[in-house]
Chains A and B, each alone.
Chain A
Amino acid sequence: MSAIMMKIRLNYQRVSLSQWGQKLFKSLAMPMLGIAAFLLLWSLAARNIDTSLGQFPGPVAVAEQSVNLWDEHLAEREKAEKFYERQEKRNADRVAKDPGYVPKVRQYTGKETFIDQIFTSLVTVACGFALAMLIAIPGGIATGLSKSLNQAINPLVQLFKPVSPLAWLPLVTMVVSALYVAPDPVVPKSFLNSMITVTLCCLWPTMINTAVGVASIDNDLLNVSRVLRLGALTHVSKIVLPSSVPMIFTGMRLSLGIAWMVLIAAEMLAQNPGLGKFVWDEFQNGSSSSLSRIMVAVLVIGFIGYLLDRGMLAIQRHVSWDKSSTVR
């Protein structure tokens, strides 16, 4: 394997500069061409679609709105800063007049900007995904190790795997409201609702892939473990886990993709202040710029989804011993 990689690298070095330039041109030019064609088609189509909220936004309107959203974010930040400045000054003044006064510090409660909402979404998806992995990987290992456990659990997995987040959400909402009744909640209920919905939907690919990875370990490696009389824990940590790492990561990439997709829908319904709520609010708002703003969100959602996948791939490349499995 590595010999092949070396060969590729050597060949790559042998390629002359002009050829390299050509390669670069090709690798950049084709995607550029694709994007340009898309923009052209988009603007042509947009011109011919009239909605009750005005014309469907073309690329220019969307670009304008993305600048607007950024400006709004900066303006809001400035407002927040000024608020804190005023508060500090006010408190300092009062303390100067009355040394016994304990200054009160209040949080700024302005509206969340688009950028804030992106971060809320990222945090929510990260928590939901992490919780899912905490369940799916050990669960997958257990079902992969035991045939009878797999037979017991597999029908349930197959049953719940295709369930839409929109079906889970009402149930999750009711359960969370019933159980999560702390007087001073650390995280809002809407966050929990979205997060748990994400978890419920993105568990399955990792669980299935882990189980398959664990169940398909090379028989000879299992024999090595038996000859060495490895204990159950060492067996899992030294043989089972490393050998199924490529499969686990394949599952995790699928899971993360699903998590991000599900999150938007969950946030819309749960009113978690993330990208989903942004889209929903803009839709309800119904101003002439709403559609362009939603379109900005669509592009951002897509781009972040892409970055998340690349990120997982990079981690997989770093962690996995099987370099051949990560190319796809």
Chain B
Amino acid sequence: MGTILDISAVDMAFPTPKGEFIALQDVNLKIAKGEFISLIGHSGCGKSTVLNIVAGLHQATRGGVILNGCEVREPGPERAVVFQNHSLLPWLTAYENVELAVKTVFGRRKSRTEIREWVEHNLSLVHMDHAMHKRPDEISGGMKQRVGIARALAMQPDVLLMDEPFGALDALTRAHLQDRLMDIQQTLNNTVIMITHDVDEAVLLSDRIVMMTNGPAATIGEVLDIPLARPRDRLALAEDPEYVHLRSEVLRFLYEKQRKVEGINAGKASDRAGGKRKSVAA
């Protein structure tokens, strides 16, 4: 399998009143088609910035991203994003939210019945067919996130970008959605980049875990291959020695090699400057 996505020599600097804040420095990553990549690191290390650059929502200061031989210059549906807080349009039903994406992406190429079938198909992939005519405020957080995933999948993206997709959910819902995502990944063989804070989630879902060093000037510290056979079963893996070993590898990186040394406040300040939102340094 060849490389589908090439992140090469990416630097990212945000202007602040005190001068430039270097968030990322020399990030290099090649991703093969069908690979599931997790980005893990302490908060404020620039994971979201990497994802936003791949999505095209941010422009790298130096270096760039090449997808299928073309440079990424702007956001687009071939790099669908699942946002951390679902980002469904609150005035549309689940169906209409997915439909808007499908119509925008395939509007001319699909007939009306094909569009309807495709929307319904994607909603049933995430088991949302029973509540597809409900509006976001009528369904639970987990269901909203599922619709968000259905919307992203429906765009048939070359790369699926997920920004802590399950971060805001309770543990049981999260486990359920992780299993769902593994099933879907198994059938569709999507290329996925997922940001996560959760070590178990990273090991369970990924083919490779990309571990980032602490900012400022964060970069990729280590890349860990996860050679566990698929389909993976969370219960069986819980006591699998290889799983346990891989898990401790990630933990060691996070808590020994890249231990957060700053105090809570300093951490927050760098978090803000790291630019999860655009508002840099109040």
Give me the interface of A with B, judged by CB distance under 8 Å: 1-2, 218-221, 223-224, 226-230, 234, 238-239, 242-243, 245, 321-322
Is the CB of B278 closer than 8 A to any CB of chain A? Answer: yes
By a CB distance below 8 angstroms, the chain B residues around A321 are 90-91, 135
Main secondary structure of the interface of B (DSSP, over half): loop
- How many positions in chain B have a CB within 8 Å of any CB in the partner chain? 27
Further pairs besides A220-B83, A227-B76, A228-B105: 11, Cβ < 8 Å: A1-B137, A219-B277, A219-B278, A221-B89, A223-B81, A224-B89, A226-B57, A227-B55, A228-B155, A229-B74, A238-B89
Chain A's nearest CB lies how many Å from the CB of B37?
A: 19
The residue from B75, B89, B101 contacting A223, defined by CB atoms under 8 A apart: B75
B104 in contact with A229 (CB, 8 Å):
yes
Is the CB of B169 closer than 8 A to any CB of chain A? Answer: no
Is the CB of B77 closer than 8 A to any CB of chain A? Answer: yes
Is the CB of B80 closer than 8 A to any CB of chain A? Answer: yes
Query: How far is A171 from B76 in the complex, measured between Cα atoms in Å?
Result: 52
Query: How far is A323 from B103 in the complex, measured between Cα atoms in Å?
Result: 28
By a CB distance below 8 angstroms, the chain B residues around A228 are 77, 100-101, 104-105, 155
Query: How far is A242 from B91 in the complex, measured between Cα atoms in Å?
Result: 7
Is the CB of B138 closer than 8 A to any CB of chain A? Answer: yes
Chain B's nearest CB lies how many Å from the CB of A232?
A: 13
**In the complex, which residue of chain B has the Cβ closest to the Cβ of A224?**
B87
**In the complex, which residue of chain A has the Cβ closest to the Cβ of B80?**
A227
Is the CB of B79 closer than 8 A to any CB of chain A? Answer: yes
By a CB distance below 8 angstroms, the chain A residues around B185 are none
Given known contacts A219-B277, A229-B75, A229-B77, is B100 in contact with A322 (CB within 8 Å)?
no
A-B Cβ contacts below 8 A, count: 59
Is the CB of B43 closer than 8 A to any CB of chain A? Answer: no
The residue from B85, B89, B155 contacting A239, defined by CB atoms under 8 A apart: B89
Interface string of B75-114 (1 = CB under 8 A from A): 1110111010101011110000000110011000000000
Interface string of B140-164 (1 = CB under 8 A from A): 0000000000000001000000000
Query: How far is A242 from B89 in the complex, measured between Cα atoms in Å?
Result: 9
Given known contacts A227-B80, A229-B104, is B89 in contact with A2 (CB within 8 Å)?
no
> Could you list some 28 contacts between A and B, CB below 8 A?
A2-B137, A220-B85, A220-B87, A221-B87, A223-B81, A223-B83, A223-B87, A224-B87, A226-B75, A227-B57, A227-B75, A227-B79, A227-B80, A227-B81, A228-B101, A229-B74, A229-B104, A230-B104, A238-B89, A238-B100, A239-B89, A242-B89, A242-B91, A243-B89, A245-B91, A321-B135, A322-B90, A322-B91
Query: How far is A223 from B57 in the complex, measured between Cα atoms in Å?
Result: 7
By a CB distance below 8 angstroms, the chain B residues around A229 are 74-77, 104
Chain A's nearest CB lies how many Å from the CB of B134?
A: 9
Query: How far is A242 from B85 in the complex, measured between Cα atoms in Å?
Result: 19
Given known contacts A219-B278, A238-B100, is B77 in contact with A227 (CB within 8 Å)?
yes
By a CB distance below 8 angstroms, the chain B residues around A1 are 137
By a CB distance below 8 angstroms, the chain A residues around B277 are 219
Chain B's nearest CB lies how many Å from the CB of A40?
A: 47
Chain B's nearest CB lies how many Å from the CB of A226?
A: 4
Chain B's nearest CB lies how many Å from the CB of A244?
A: 11
Query: How far is A219 from B81 in the complex, measured between Cα atoms in Å?
Result: 14
Chain B's nearest CB lies how many Å from the CB of A38?
A: 41
Query: How far is A228 from B80 in the complex, measured between Cα atoms in Å?
Result: 8
Query: How far is A142 from B79 in the complex, measured between Cα atoms in Å?
Result: 29
Given known contacts A220-B85, A228-B100, is B77 in contact with A243 (CB within 8 Å)?
no
By a CB distance below 8 angstroms, the chain B residues around A242 are 89, 91-92
List the 6 closest pairs (A to B, CB-CB), nearest first. Answer: A321-B91, A220-B87, A226-B75, A242-B91, A227-B75, A228-B104
Query: How far is A219 from B84 in the complex, measured between Cα atoms in Å?
Result: 12
Chain A's nearest CB lies how many Å from the CB of B43?
A: 18
By a CB distance below 8 angstroms, the chain B residues around A239 are 89
Query: How far is A245 from B92 in the complex, measured between Cα atoms in Å?
Result: 13
